[in-house]
Structure 1
Amino acid sequence: MDDEGAGTVRLLWGPHPKPARGPRPGLDLGRIGRAGIEIADAEGLGGVSMQRVAALLGVTKMALYRYVPGKAEVIALMVDAAIGRPPEESASGAPQESALPGWRERLDGWARQLFDVFRRHPWLLEATVGPRVMGPAELGWMERAVSALDGTGLTGAERMDSAVLLTGHVRVIAQHARAAAPTSGVEAQLGSVLGAVLAEHGERFPALTAALASTRDAGGQDEAWEFGLQRILDGLAVLIGRRSD
């Protein structure tokens, strides 16, 4: 791990020594992270800078450097604070036509609450790309997902991969939702874009044209999120069943 990575680890995980120079500390890492979140929620991640964060906190940029080495570390603090503590294990927004297995209910609720986090803070999609140091809150979410599959017969690698697969679905739908018009859903916007093209070239894409027409007949409801989530959980149920056999 390079020096920058080691510095981020210390900021996220501690210990947090107070600045050795200058006047009595008037800031803490929590306030710095929250200030960055306020800017990013309003303007996107591109609006965050050391100067902007310092100004919002009422200090000079040089004073801010006494607490964090640079913007990358501020963003790391922002990510962990915005993601927050993992959800309660009983939380689930799944349809309740029938009782769900414990692991399935827990992962269903986990995925829905993670999706809500990305909807509240869309800049997280950009800030959580690529290799980086994760903080205790973010790892707490991963711990909750992996532990939900304890006792199912899946290997440790399979439980990790399951959490990554669910996270990927959450991210993809959240990314599309971020780009969609506020008054329309993901599928509604996609249908609008495709409709104009297929109106002239539909004979070249008969299956796609028929599928789009079916979506319109169903009222154009957005089902990509629910369909994908339930199919992932169905697939896990099949694999867990095989392990039980």
Structure 2
Amino acid sequence: METGHGGNGSAVRGLELLWGLGERPKQGRRPAFTLEQIVRTAVGIADAEGLAAVSMRRIAERLGCTTMSLYRYVPGKAQLLDLMTDCVMGEVPLAGAAPGGWRTGLERSARADWALYHRHPWILRLPAGRPALGPNGLAWYESVLRVLTMTGLPPAALVNVFDLVDAYVRGAARDSLDAAAVERHSGVTDEQWWAARAHFWDVIFVPARYPVLASLRAAGALTHPRDRGFEFGLQRVLDSVEAFVRNQPHGRDETVKRDETRCAQCGDPVPRPTPTGRPRVYCSDACRQRAYRARRAAGSSGTRH
């Protein structure tokens, strides 16, 4: 999800900026703005006008400063793109912050990513295979991988499952955003576009030649909200992952067996209580304590953004 840019010469400088290790502007008159303001201004431009509109000149106009003064903070656009991406990654709640097994955590994470892409469509225009390695993106990645460790999958398979789900969400979001952009730029909705082509169905289309297509159209199956299509696909992807986990020699089946309770924190089976004992929610004291700390953190700081 998080994407990096720049060549070898700028890689070290970019990493220092991401982690707050770079040199600050030299002493002199107090700066009128901060690096965070520069980055958030760039994000605002990208959100409103697209990635192509982001430039040092445009940012300088928004901040009321000279273009050259920005280079005291950010050496170039490559580093700026990394900073922008890691900035918005901070909006995504960490996976596993709420109780549930690996499927629940992965599903929650996928929906959060879907929402992020719709808030910041420009992220999908950046190459996904070159992470910026910033603190927000790395924390998100770590949290999703931690959720996936509940599956018991070996390391390579675990990473492949992550890539599979991430690729599905990115692809579905890109299709949704592209369709919305076509509507926005043309001023014609999908319904209006198809209505203008009613002649095709009424005169040109021959149901006998395409019987399956004709039956699906008659049933209304060819049109559905885009979000519903995303949810359907997400569940099928997770179904396939669950089946894969179940077929592993040491995988953890998320299918709840009869009379078996799963831990609300990690998803492992909860030992059955004694006949007179209270029902157990967690599999161990460690999970109970982790859940308690998570509730306290959520109550004091709210949902992480």
> TM-score, structure 1 length as denominator?
0.80
Deviation at 1:38, TM superposition (A): 1.0
Distance 2:130 2:96 in 1: 31
Structure 1 residues 61-70 or 150-159, which shifts more? 150-159
Any conservation in 1 of the 2:25–2:73 contact (CA below 8 Å)? yes
Distance 2:150 2:105 in 1: 14
Deviation at 1:10, TM superposition (A): 1.3
Deviation sequence 1:200-245 (CA, Å, 0-9, x none) = 4667983772475166258634432112111111111111112247
Deviation sequence 1:17-55 (CA, Å, 0-9, x none) = 212365333332211110001111111111110011112
Deviation at 1:164, TM superposition (A): 1.6
Partner of 1:32: 38
Any conservation in 2 of the 1:85–1:141 contact (CA below 8 Å)? no
Contiguous gaps of at least 5 residues in structure 2? 1-6, 184-188, 252-305
Deviation at 1:139, TM superposition (A): 2.0
Partner of 1:164: 163
Aligned residues: 234
**Residues 1:206 and 2:207 are matched in the alignment:** no
> TM-score, structure 2 length as denominator?
0.66
Any conservation in 1 of the 2:90–2:137 contact (CA below 8 Å)? yes
Give the residue type in structure 2 aligned to 1:12: L
Deviation sequence 1:96-134 (CA, Å, 0-9, x none) = xxxx96100000000001110000111111134453523
Relative to 1, partners in 2 of residues 1:31 and 1:103: Cα closer, same or farther, differing over 3 Å?
Answer: same
Any conservation in 2 of the 1:89–1:109 contact (CA below 8 Å)? yes
Q: Percent identity?
A: 35
Any conservation in 2 of the 1:86–1:144 contact (CA below 8 Å)? no
**Residues 1:8 and 2:14 are matched in the alignment:** yes
Partner of 1:50: 56
Contiguous gaps of at least 5 residues in structure 1? 93-99
Partner of 2:238: 233
Structure 1 residues 142-151 or 46-55, which shifts more? 142-151
3-state secondary structure, aligned to 2:118: helix
Partner of 1:96: none
Deviation sequence 1:52-87 (CA, Å, 0-9, x none) = 111212211111011111112112111111221541
Q: Kindly name which structure, 1 or 2, has the bigger radius of gyration based on alpha carbons.
A: 2
Deviation at 1:8, TM superposition (A): 1.4
Partner of 2:258: none
Higher fraction of helix: 1
Partner of 1:66: 72
Relative to 1, partners in 2 of residues 1:207 and 1:14: Cα closer, same or farther, differing over 3 Å?
Answer: farther
Any conservation in 2 of the 1:83–1:137 contact (CA below 8 Å)? yes
